[in-house]
Amino acid sequence: MARTLMVVVALATAVAAAQSKPFTLTPARIGANEVKKVQDTDFARSFNYVEVQKAYPYLGSKVIKGLPGNQVLRDRCLEYVRSTLKTPSVAKFVNVGTPRYHTDAGVYFVSGDVDSQNTYGAMIRSRFWCSMVFEGTAKGGILWIQSDVYSR
């Protein structure tokens, strides 16, 4: 009985310590050669990997193999945006831009439009964006995803 109590106390202490540690992201600062690299200090000042980090625990994450290329970035973004919609099965994505890696900010960025149903069943066109931070190596890692869908 005493041993079980000690194990429970140790486990509770470990969980409390883990929960008190702040969530931090460390961008890998590498990407597939096909991804367009952009330097934009204005973008970096207003939106960077720290802003994505602040959104935790409201982030999506996906384990990926290798470096994130255009198709992986686009697919993960659309998958995450679709998961936030009221009726994801009828969503149609249009005008989806080519992923860009903002070297100053440490984030990948994808934006576009999505046609989806609102609460009343009407189809509306909204803008969306995804900011993603890759933590890992050339062999793979975790892609952290933050997105927003908003009306024009």
Res. 111: pLDDT tops 90: yes
Q: How confident is the model at residue 4 (pLDDT cuts 50, 70, 90)?
A: low
In this predicted model, what pLDDT tens digit does every residue of 48-58 receive, in sequence order?
A: 999 999 999 99
Single pTM value for the model: 0.82
Question: How far is Cα 29 from Cα 107, in angstroms, rounded to an integer?
Answer: 9
The arithmetic mean of pLDDT across residues 53-70, rounded, is 94
pLDDT of the residue at 84? 93
Looking at residue 95, what is its pLDDT? 96
For the chain, the average pLDDT equals 88
Stretch among 14-28, 37-51, 92-106, 115-129 having the lowest mean pLDDT:
14-28
Question: CA 118, 124, 125 angle in degrees (round to 5)?
Answer: 130
- To which H or E segment does residue 3 belong? helix 2-20
What's the confidence (pLDDT) of residue 20? 62
> Radius of gyration of the chain from Cα atoms?
19
pLDDT in tens, 10-55: 444 544 444 567 899 999 988 899 999 999 999 888 889 999 999 9
More reliable by pLDDT, 31 or 98: 98
| Mean pLDDT value of segment 60-65 | 95
Helix H or strand E encompassing 65: strand 60-65
pLDDT in the model for residue 1: 54
Q: Residue 14: what pLDDT? A: 45
